[in-house]
Chain A
Amino acid sequence: MDHLKKILTATVAAGAMSVSSTALAVELEVTHWWTSGGEAAAVAEFAKAFNENTEHTWVDGAIAGSGGTARPIIISRILGGDPMGATQLNHGRQAEELIEAGLMLDLTDVAEAEGWRDIVHPTSLLDSCTLDGRIYCVPVNIHSFQWLWLSHQAFEDAGVDVPTNWGEFVAAAPALGEAGKVPLAMGQQGWQTSGAFGVINVAIGGLDLWRKINVEKDAEAAASPAMLEVFQAFAQARLLSQGSNVQDWNMATNMVITGQAGGQIMGDWAQGEFQVAGQVAGEDYSCLPGLGVNAVLDTGGDAFYFPKTDDPEITAAQKELASLMLSKEAQVAFNLKKGSLPVRGDVDLDAANDCMKKGLDILANGSIMPSGDMLLTPDTSSQIEDLLAEFWSDTSMTPEMAQERYANIIANAD
């Protein structure tokens, strides 16, 4: 009891002192869903930078499961009046209403002081953090889904060359099957199938078609013969992935790493897993942006939002963290581990590997497209996700049937 009293008085005294002298050290809880090997290593870089460069402490609030599991938890905590210090969310329309309801901290003063508009590249990333001219989030990386990861070992075992585009990949699939490999690894979670669908959509159907459907919500384009080809290619992918019974994306990536599967359509975050496994791009695995057909990358990514609190100490710490996340050092350290691209065009990425360089080149060319998260409401995208999940597991559902329902969802999208 005495001990407790001592601590109490000490804390009060320390508190009183630091209020008068410097800002109080704050324990800032940061929630995110980065739990796979490569992701955890990357987020640890942020934590390290925050603990070393400021007097505040990073309290890690990792939520297991994918964004689909974590996002409801994060949102209900903010709505329920138990906000964390900072949280990962994919920028775009997910946080729109939270911002409108005044639950998120306005970062405009930090952004203006540091000139975010000049350093963030492409600027569309900052645009999706902006609502009515105010900035509410910090983009930390650029992730693109449009990659096909290929295992060199699997193709070697099957005695065929490593394909350079989707057509060759499909042609090589029977040889892979004979060698006892699963041609295409795919985790059974809805976001993975719908992500792969988006990739095939752009690669096979082209960017214009994709734009018509996702930006203009053109239901006729969604019902067009060109789109039917996309659904047929998707049905082919369904066939190629028979026998891949894993759930999580990193389990599927692991099948590629160990050579049990030929390839996987997955975002560039998969690269972190290859790195943790000690594989070298170009030697052990290779990557085909845009499935080797249409090398266009989306510029989705992760961003951090800072829920609003009444405590000025916490607010100050939140702003410090926000500016730290965009600093050059943190950007390089974080993105090298994560396998994603930095949001600043002015950092040096000598350490980047083959695949990241491919990505940086495409980015520099400006072959970019907005990410689906920024265009469709969660309502529409989860309807599509449900449809594609159903299509993926039910082989009796034809591409035509799926397309009809898809066009219907697009027609009703808002």
Chain B
Amino acid sequence: MAGAKKPVRILRNLNAKVAALPMITTALVIFVGCTIWTIVHSFTNSRLLPKLEFVGFDQYERLWSTRRWLVSIENLAYFGIGSLVFSLVIGFLLAALLDQKIRFENTVRTIILYPFALSFIVTGLVWQWILNPEFGIQHIVRGFGFENFVFDPLYNPDIVIFGVLIAGLWQGTGFIMVIMLSGLRGIDGEIWKASRIDGIPKWKTYLFVVIPMMRPTFVTALVLISAGIIKVYDLVVAQTNGGPGIASEVPAKYVYDSMFRSQNLGQGFAASTMMLLSVLVVLIPWAYLEFGGRKDGK
């Protein structure tokens, strides 16, 4: 590119660029600016109010030696893997079943999607009651005569996170199903005809032909689920409030509690920076593969 051409390039599409300015400024100031501000303050000993007294990596050292944070991370891993796998599998299965040209598809679809209209707070409370041993599932099954039946995940520190996971799946899977369904509808009917002529079993067609063709749909679903995992907070607050003990704590709750309950902003910022870092660790390689790869292909 010759030097003389440069100013022209900047001025090209001037209107569009001016129009984009507010959005660019917002993105820079709000997202990038505030992120940098947070990261900077995570190296200070800010308590209730932010102040710039730097203490190096002290907050991070304390963070990673705090049992509650480690439990939070572990829970996030269980919750994350569980909700990723089950959302995708159950969502896809439901969508595939709905796609068999069944009757009352609209009704069934609405029923399955319905929990998505509820907030996490309501979901959490409802499932707190359902899983309560005194009047929930355990009570009902015992009422049938199985006196020794035990099902109280919310009161057992070892499996409480799966109690939360059940509620999360109940709330979110319907939405994933709808996305999958629209993906399935996007598959050309000719493909099905061709596979039938070749005598390929239906499940094989799904597994080896349809699913690879639905890659964009899966990517969309994946991004939506992952965002939900990282920010899970209200569900836990409503359902268990981190209990019993600290067995169902999650990182977002650690951030909030550090900042407002402990009045220790520095610690909260350090924890949120770690959360950002973990998102980036996943996001950057993926973005590189997704977008970097395509450029070469063209």
Contacts and interface: CB of A to CB of B under 8 A. Distances in A.
A98 B247 contact: no
Interface stretch (B8-16, B34-42, B115-123, B254-262): B254-262
Interface stretch (B164-172, B185-193, B238-246): B238-246
Interface string A4-37: 0000000000000000000000000000000000
A391 B244 CA distance: 10
Contacts of B133: 245
A154 B267 CA distance: 46
Nearest to B240: A188
Contacts of A405: 67
Nearest to B158: A394
Contact of B68 (A79, A386, A391): A386
B45 to A, nearest CB: 9
A382 B246 contact: no
Contacts of B264: 378-379
Contacts of B217: none
A382 B258 CA distance: 9
Contact of B155 (A189, A245, A379, A386): A245
Contact of B48 (A75, A245, A382, A387): A75
B257 A382 contact: yes
Interface in B109-168: 133-134, 155, 157
A382 B157 CA distance: 20
A145 interface: no
A68 interface: yes
Interface string A29-73: 000000000000000000000000000000000000000100110
Which of A71, A392, A393 is the most central at the interface, judged by chain B CB atoms within 10 Å of its CB?
Answer: A393
Interface residues of A, number: 29
B246 A386 contact: yes
Q: How large is the interface on B (under 10, 10 to 19, 20 to 34, 35 or more residues)?
A: 20 to 34
Interface string A364-402: 000000000000011100110011011111100000000
A393 B154 CA distance: 12
Contacts of B241: 189, 247
Contact of A392 (B134, B245, B262): B245
Given A75-B48, A390-B245, A390-B246, A68 B263 contact: no
Nearest to B132: A245
A394 B157 contact: yes
A101 interface: yes
A94 B260 CA distance: 11
A76 interface: yes
B2 interface: no
A346 interface: no
Contacts of B261: 68, 71-72, 378, 382
Contacts of B47: 97, 377, 379
A393 B245 contact: yes
A379 B246 CA distance: 17
Given A98-B48, A101-B49, A394-B157, A188 B244 contact: yes
Which of A96, A377, A386, A387 is the most central at the interface, judged by chain B CB atoms within 10 Å of its CB?
Answer: A386
Interface in B220-270: 241, 243-247, 256-257, 260-264, 267
B243 A188 contact: yes
Which of B67, B157, B246, B264 is the most central at the interface, judged by chain A CB atoms within 10 Å of its CB?
Answer: B246
Contacts of B155: 245
Given A75-B48, A101-B49, A394-B157, A389 B263 contact: no
Interface string A205-249: 000000000000000000000000000000000000000010100
A390 B67 contact: yes
A189 B246 CA distance: 11
Contact of B263 (A377, A387, A392): A377
A391 B245 contact: yes
Which of B48, B68, B157, B260 is the most central at the interface, judged by chain A CB atoms within 10 Å of its CB?
Answer: B48
Contacts of A382: 257, 261-262
A378 B263 contact: yes
A253 to B, nearest CB: 18
B133 to A, nearest CB: 8
Contact of B262 (A79, A96, A245, A379): A379
Given A97-B49, A101-B49, A391-B245, A76 B260 contact: yes
Nearest to A246: B134
Nearest to A382: B262
Contacts of A393: 157, 243-247
Interface in A114-137: none
Given A97-B48, A389-B245, A378 B157 contact: no
Contacts of A389: 243, 245-246
B280 to A, nearest CB: 28
Nearest to B260: A72
A140 to B, nearest CB: 23
The 6 closest A-B pairs by CB, nearest first: A393-B245, A72-B260, A393-B244, A97-B48, A382-B262, A390-B245
Given A378-B262, A391-B245, 18 more contacts: A68-B261, A72-B256, A72-B260, A75-B48, A75-B260, A76-B260, A98-B48, A189-B241, A245-B133, A245-B155, A378-B263, A379-B262, A383-B66, A390-B245, A390-B247, A393-B246, A393-B247, A394-B245
Interface of B: 47-49, 66-68, 133-134, 155, 157, 241, 243-247, 256-257, 260-264, 267
23 contacts: A68-B261, A71-B261, A72-B256, A72-B260, A97-B47, A98-B48, A101-B49, A188-B243, A245-B155, A377-B263, A378-B262, A378-B264, A379-B47, A379-B264, A386-B67, A389-B243, A390-B68, A390-B246, A393-B243, A393-B244, A394-B157, A394-B245, A394-B247
